[in-house]
Amino acid sequence: MSTVDAPTSHLRENPYDIAREQLQRVATTFDIDANLVNVLGECKKSVEVSVPVGMDDGSTRVFKGYRVTHNVARGPSKGGIRYHADVTRDEIKALAMLMTWKCALMGIPFGGAKGGVVVDPKQLSRSELERMTRRYTSEIINEIGPEKDIPAPDVGTDASVMAWIFDTYSMNKGHSVLGVVTGKPLAIGGSLGREEATARSALYSIRDAAAKQDRSVAGMRVAVQGFGQVGSYLALFLHQEGAIVTAVSDSTTALYNAKGIDVPAAFAHKREFRTLAGLRDAEAITNEELILLDVDVLAPCALEQVITGENADRVRASIVCEGANAPVTPAADAILEDKGVLILPDVLANAGGVVVSYFEWVQGLQEYFWKESEVNAKLNDIVSRAFEETWETARARDVSMRVAAYGVAVQRVAEATITRGIYP
């Protein structure tokens, strides 16, 4: 039996420290009581579990898993499950806090949670992945539930993983519990529009930002880092809106074409071969070079901390749209703000996933499902409203879009906390 430890992390700074620093900055700007900050700066619950899995070769490996709840003042906690070799407890705690602010900014009745397993899912067979998922679910089964804590997909997980979690939980309860997870396949209670939802919110944010600058998405030059569920759909949607997507990348390959990548071809290529490598009519570059391209919009849609104090001064995009969670560090934030770069923060730009997860949860509880056009229209309304609230707050207080978005969100969670009180 072997235990799997995390390798050296891609994270340059402690993400939980960053999350709490951002909270403190917002609290100072918006005059939020220090006692409330003490409450909001801590996670309600953090669970670490051991996940033993029988492998195909007969050996047993033991993976480490987490489930963290940050806050439930506004409703049950909600947040994705991440399978990645670099997962750490502090990363999961930071992402849970971020989810709290995201739900509050969107005005949906959830708090924030997050989960993760320290594993490279690409190194597991499908049967090993299923066994690991079911064992992880069994280990956290007392922590989750449709009125308690609702998981969803994140980096390294997808609808199939959600199906296994749904089935494992339901088998233990003795009946199907549609609301225990979101991001499920359509055949078992998933929602139309869920797969593309995060990319759509990023698209809506870019569209609304362009309109504020008297510009149009059509003709904008865009670089998209990350070609998973968020980045691939965002690149496709931007292409459909007339933008020129000059660069795309996945975990192994970055590609550039000054005249524009054939995004539908890239989308199909990735689906067939599970990599962008080998795509025709594109020049290979590095992910670092992609970040520094001369474009109108840079959309980091992969992992955290890819724009840092070390490279932010060389970023040439005029808009940075955070399709990923926390891809810009606080040091980079300050540099980009000084340069006049408009940052569309993660709690706004990539909130579409949790919004449509909320729609799926509601549909599952009602056992009544909506048309895709209804889902997308409702998503558009919520994201556009949140964008407008953030934009007006930023202008009124002369702060960045990030501080404004966090400020609106933290104030809502603070108000809920005060209204409910602290028991006993």
The residues carrying an active-site annotation are 114
Q: Cβ(36)–Cβ(419) under 8 Å? A: no
Q: How far is CA 239 from the centre of its chain?
A: 22
Separation CA 47–CA 140 (nearest Å): 8
**Closest to 277 (Cα-Cα) out of 252, 257, 301, 294:** 252
3-class DSSP assignment, residue 117: strand
Rounded to 5 degrees, φ, ψ at 212 are: -65, -25
Q: Cβ(70)–Cβ(93) under 8 Å? A: yes
Q: Which residue's structure tokens are 């009544």?
A: 368
Kindly write down the DSSP assignment for every residue of 140-203, as one continuous string.
Answer: TTTT-BTTTEEEEE-TT--HHHHHHHHHHHHHHHTS--GGG-SS--GGGT--TTTTTHHHHHHH
Bond into 153 cis (ω within 30): no
The total number of residues shown for the chain amounts to 424
Q: Angle at the Cα of 365 (from 363 to 368), degrees rounded to 5? A: 40
Torsion angle defined by CA atoms of residues 272, 273, 279 and 285, in that order, rounded to the nearest 10 degrees: 140
Separation CA 240–CA 199 (nearest Å): 13
**Closest to 150 (Cα-Cα) out of 72, 76, 49:** 76
**Closest to 188 (Cα-Cα) out of 217, 227, 211, 161:** 161
Facing residues of 297 across strands?
222, 319
Q: 300: buried, middle or exposed (CB in 10 Å: 19+, 13-18, 0-12)? A: buried
Q: How far is CA 51 from the centre of its chain?
A: 24
How far CA 400 is from CA of 105, 389, 396, 403, 411, in Å, comes to 15, 13, 11, 5, 16
Separation CA 226–CA 306 (nearest Å): 11
**Closest to 249 (Cα-Cα) out of 279, 217, 218:** 279
